[in-house]
Amino acid sequence: MSVRPVIVTCAITGAIHTPSMSPYLPITPRQIADEAIAAARAGAAILHLHARDPTDGRPTGDPALFREFVPVIRDGCDAVINITTGGGQNMSVDDRLACALACRPEMCSLNLGSMNFGLFPALGRYSQFTYDWERPYLEASRGFVFRNTFSDIEQILARLAAHGTRFEFECYDVGHLYTLAHLLDRGLVAPPLFTQFIFGILGGIGADADNLLHMRTLAHRLFGEEIEWSVLAAGRHQLGMATIGALCGSNVRVGLEDSLYAAKGRLATSNAEQVERIRRVLSELSLDVATPAEARRRLALKGAHTVGF
């Protein structure tokens, strides 16, 4: 069987890191757009997008802010635009869906289960914060449950599928694969399934090779050999886990949402730097990188001309 080119996703800013953690974290719509376009030019076929308040960098689901950068990205590259439905702490499902419903993108993320989502360990690594919201935001994650009930998932699927949007199914633990199998059995989702295995978030599955191999084996048993799966890992685990995944046939995700670093003790200066780094690894493994056109074909996406922005 021929080896398929690797689909590289880049997650540009996210809702995990705060501005004080890195001066390179994109905050404003212009910064997010510039970072996304540069990541696409570096080889990312899919761009996973969150928005932030440009005045202080806090995560926001405001569709007006998304509309300041998603058309710029569309016009600046041909990468698939993937808009979050995960949002940030304490956003309702309606808040998390607002931009996706307004923009009707080719792809959105979809989280497959409720979980603890601990960001508070970062408090021990930073002594000062630039903005008043940062420390309470991290501390609040001790009591935060990232809610994704079956009802929430069904609602997101129904409301976005009506617009032809397909999904990056985010799996933070083994049980999330069984949830996806349940949704498939009920006909609520349809192949090809693009699953993102997420390792190293406090509250989810740990970032080690045995867990990755177990998730891979289970996914193939539940969904067959042709499933499109991808690997991301938080922080220092980013490159190692992506490399193991690629050796096992996965697609990969990098970006400043998942890790702020380019090497031990050295901050990444851009998302493109992380894309370039994983491309070098893939090249050394004799693996090619998929184009946006190939990603669209393999994931059965509706095409950039059909979006609402």
Residue 11 one-letter amino acid = A
pLDDT band per the 50, 70, 90 thresholds, residue 14: very high
- Give pLDDT, residue 196: 98
Query: Is residue 47 within 8 Å of 87, Cβ to Cβ?
Result: no
Mean pLDDT value across residues 28-41: 98
pLDDT tens-place string over residues 2-12: 689 999 999 99
Q: Is residue 245 part of a domain?
A: yes
- Give pLDDT, residue 207: 98
Query: Is residue 134 within 8 Å of 18, Cβ to Cβ?
Result: yes
Has residue 90 got a pLDDT over 90? no
- Give pLDDT, residue 39: 99
Output DSSP code: residue 202.
B
Strands 228-233 and 251-254 come out as parallel
Q: Is residue 285 part of a domain?
A: yes
Q: Is residue 167 part of a domain?
A: yes
Q: Is residue 67 part of a domain?
A: yes
Has residue 1 got a pLDDT over 60? no
**DSSP H or E segment with residue 251:** strand 251-254
Coil vs helix vs strand at 82: strand
- Give pLDDT, residue 285: 97
- Cα separation, 98 vs 101, in Å, equals 5
Q: Is residue 1 part of a domain?
A: no
Q: Looking at the whole model, is its pTM more than 0.95?
A: yes
CA neighbor of 70 nearest in space, from 114, 111, 108 = 108
pLDDT tens-place string over residues 201-237: 999 999 999 999 999 999 999 999 879 999 999 999 9
The CATH number of whichever domain residue 190 belongs to comes to: 3.20.20.70
- Give pLDDT, residue 106: 98
The structural domain count of the chain equals 1
Dihedral sign for Cα 243, 245, 247, 250, please: negative
Work out the mean pLDDT of the chain and round it to a whole number. 97
Q: Is residue 3 part of a domain?
A: no
The residues, ordered by sequence, that sit 6+ positions from 8 with a Cβ below 8 Å of its Cβ are 43, 44, 45, 46, 251, 252, 253, 254, 275, 278, 279, 282, 289, 290
pLDDT tens-place string over residues 235-247: 999 999 999 999 9
Q: Is residue 2 part of a domain?
A: no
Question: Which tokens in the block code for residue 10?
Answer: 């880049």
**Is 285 or 3 the better-scoring residue by pLDDT?**
285
- The range of the structural domain enclosing residue 14 comes to 8-306
- Give pLDDT, residue 283: 98
Distances (CA, A) of 107 to 255, 280, 298, 299: 17, 27, 13, 9
